[in-house]
Structure 1
Amino acid sequence: MFNNQIVSALKKRRSIYQLGRSVTTPTNDIVKIAQDAIIESPTAFNGQTVKAIFLFDEHHEHLWDLTAERLRSEVPSDEAYQATLKKLNSFKAAFGTILFFEDSATVRQEEKDYPLYRDNFQDWAEQAQGGAQQAVWVALALNNIGASLQHYNPLIDEQVREAFAVPAEWVLRAEMPFGSIEAPAGEKSYLPREERFVVFQHKAV
């Protein structure tokens, strides 16, 4: 029978927006689970361009406080800012946050080392980000830890760099707050398969 375990795992991964701190998995285990997921995710020429910083406790809270402060000047009205603040506070209520980065120095070195593929390495680095982020997301979900993926970069890049001593070569690509699942994800809709897939195969004679 066809093994469907990976699809079952993928179905468990959802965007969870109501996150809490009732996490029973030890912090060190969470870090190792996520690190292992990133390590085993593919990167072009094994460049290992995906980097990550793990934030817990006051460091996690500081991330969302600095994000709120940075967005204050970007949101056009006080009413809109209060709605933004409510959203950011929901991330702050989580157990922790993983920051995903791209190692731009490695990308540039790959472009130099493999000039035939020079124009592809930036795209490949982005693909590596997607693979690693999904792998971590699924790994957390399999341990009953909810998460969502946020993109307040590049607005908060400089604040994050200063707050967490980020190496100059690391470029922030995403933020993943995670924690206990306080409310389930909503219903997910799917396009018909015929609108997304095409299959060619040999016709039997």
Structure 2
Amino acid sequence: MERNLKEALKHRRSYYALDSQSPISDEQIEEIMRFAVAHTPSAFNSQSTRLVLLLGEHHRKLWKLVKETLKKIISEAAYEATEAKVDKSFLAGYGTVLFYEDQTIVESLQKAFPLYQDKFPEWSEHTSAMHQLVVWTMLENAGFGASLQHYNPLIDLAVQAEWRLPEHWRLIAQMPFGTPLTAPGKKDMHPVEERIKIFK
């Protein structure tokens, strides 16, 4: 379903009950990733964001890896609840997008602009966040449900090794997606008037 930008942003929500079906082809999913990387802004035009798209067995492998990692470090009782959540909400989906930031670019900017060197890691996070919003909104607009997860840094080394990713890529977030099975719950919103100041 094609929505205008305002409608698409309004409809973007977190979905936690997913199915492993896809409303669009893998090629169309790949095009969403390419569009996001090509057209999302970045601090100093750094283009530091890196995306890893995991589909099929690669997607399932990621969430099995997450479970294996967590099983080693949390209590048995806590793991049971975590396993159920991972199985229903993440592993059950169609795919996952991993968001990375290339640290060689961040470091090169720190050297090139020493006056702002302490800010570039923060601005890199902003760059990643913009890519996350674009991908998330476009996936939902295509008929998917998605959520944003943060199992990093617990899984960083295992993921890097499994998919032979560069050491200078820093994992920021994971976005599992699939066909939504249930509608999202009511979203609590603080009054907009309390969050905006306008002077004219």
The reply to whether TM is greater than 0.5 is yes
Q: Which residue of 1 aligns with 2:83?
A: 85
SS in 1 for 2:119: helix
Retained in 2: the 8 A contact 1:50–1:101? yes
2: CA distance, partners of 1:75 / 1:58: 26
Retained in 2: the 8 A contact 1:75–1:81? yes
Which blocks of at least 5 consecutive residues in structure 2 are unaligned? none
Alignment of 1:30-45 (within 5 A): 30-45=29-44
The alpha-carbon deviation at position 92 of structure 1 amounts to: 0.6
2: CA distance, partners of 1:34 / 1:185: 24
RMSD of aligned alpha carbons: 1.3
Retained in 1: the 8 A contact 2:23–2:143? no
Alignment of 1:24-103 (within 5 A): 24-76=23-75, 78-90=76-88, 91-103=90-102
2: CA distance, partners of 1:31 / 1:174: 18
Alignment of 1:171-182 (within 5 A): 171-182=170-181
Q: How many equivalent pairs are there? A: 197
1: CA distance, partners of 2:10 / 2:192: 16
Retained in 1: the 8 A contact 2:22–2:144? yes
Q: Which residue of 1 aligns with 2:169?
A: 170
Deviations 1:95-143 (A, max 9, x none): 0101100100100001111122212111110000110000000001111
Retained in 1: the 8 A contact 2:15–2:180? yes
2: CA distance, partners of 1:32 / 1:6: 18
SS in 2 for 1:133: helix
Bigger drift between 34-43 and 174-183 goes to: 34-43
Deviations 1:56-106 (A, max 9, x none): 111111100111010012222x22111000111121110010110010010
Retained in 2: the 8 A contact 1:38–1:135? no
Which blocks of at least 5 consecutive residues in structure 1 are unaligned? none
Structure index of larger Rg: 1
Structure 1 moving runs of 4+ over 2 Å? 4-7
Retained in 2: the 8 A contact 1:34–1:140? no
Identity in percent: 40
TM-score (norm 1): 0.93
Q: Which residue of 1 aligns with 2:112?
A: 113
Deviations 1:17-54 (A, max 9, x none): 11112213110110111221232111111111110111
2: CA distance, partners of 1:116 / 1:42: 22
The alpha-carbon deviation at position 13 of structure 1 amounts to: 0.5
1: CA distance, partners of 2:30 / 2:77: 37
